[in-house]
Amino acid sequence: MKRPAIKICGLSSEDTIDHVIRRGASHVGFIFFEKSPRHVEPDVAAGLIAHVRGRAKTVAVSVDADNELLEEIVYAARPDMLQLHGHETPDRVMTIKALFGLPVIKAFSLRAPEDLARVDDYDGVADHLLFDAKPPANATLPGGNGVTFDWRLLAGWRPTIPYFLSGGLSAENVAAALHETGAHGLDVSSGVESAPGVKDAARIDAFFDAVDAAYATA
């Protein structure tokens, strides 16, 4: 079985970036959402993204961002891809793609089967999908909450667009998540942190070790 793409999200230091790329991250994500403990300003992200260039795909994550913010992010930081983690409609995704010419990962929050109903509308529009858990009722962030959803929602479901499985993944559960869903890619943030926004080298290693072990036995 082919090892999935692995996106480590919410990065903010060159050392951690180097570590996750060394361990095999295919994508690294930067959060542009001020309420997040992982938020990076576009000028800081520019340095981090320049540091990555060519070694992994760089992903700028935004939430219902207007054109002005997207311009600031894209023209300052020059990411390879945009992740839209809000309520962006298919029309809005098409507009963003036309404006910036970058591939788009469209994120969806899942809790129940009906949450998948809108996904087909993004066929031919989004380049990748990302399935995350719906945030808990008291959450202030639409993502990065470290909570899982019921992976059986995706079992046997083969979308025409490749997808990242996300939401509360960690070294402890990633093998089961892969087994249940057969996801094309994995995305993790809290599960490789010691505190919100603080990436942890040991947890990063444990995560990649768990993915490698899952593939060695697949």
Ligand X SMILES: O=C(O)c1ccccc1NCC(=O)[C@H](O)[C@H](O)COP(=O)(O)O
**Site of interaction with ligand X (CB under 6 A):** 9-10, 29, 31, 33, 36, 38, 61, 63, 85, 132, 141-146, 166-169, 187-191
Task: List, as one string, the DSSP characters of 120-146.
Answer: GGGTTT-SEEEEEEPPPTT-S-SS---
> Minimal distance in Å, beta carbon 60 to ligand X?
11
Contact between residue 3 and residue 211 where contact means Cβ atoms under 8 Å apart: yes
Longest dimension (CA), the chain: 47
- Nearest-10 crossing angle of helices 42-52, 67-77: 40
| 163-165 and 57-62 beta bridge pairing | unpaired
> Minimal distance in Å, beta carbon 50 to ligand X?
21
Please state the length of the chain: 218
Between 4 and 144, whose beta carbon lies closer to ligand X?
144
> Minimal distance in Å, beta carbon 162 to ligand X?
15
Between 60 and 214, whose beta carbon lies closer to ligand X?
60
Between 74 and 216, whose beta carbon lies closer to ligand X?
74
Taking CA 169 as the corner, what is the angle to CA 167 and CA 160, rounded to the nearest 5 degrees? 60
Between 145 and 181, whose beta carbon lies closer to ligand X?
145
> Minimal distance in Å, beta carbon 195 to ligand X?
12
How many Å apart are CA 34 and CA 61, to the nearest integer?
11
Between 19 and 216, whose beta carbon lies closer to ligand X?
19
Residue nearest to ligand X (CB): 144
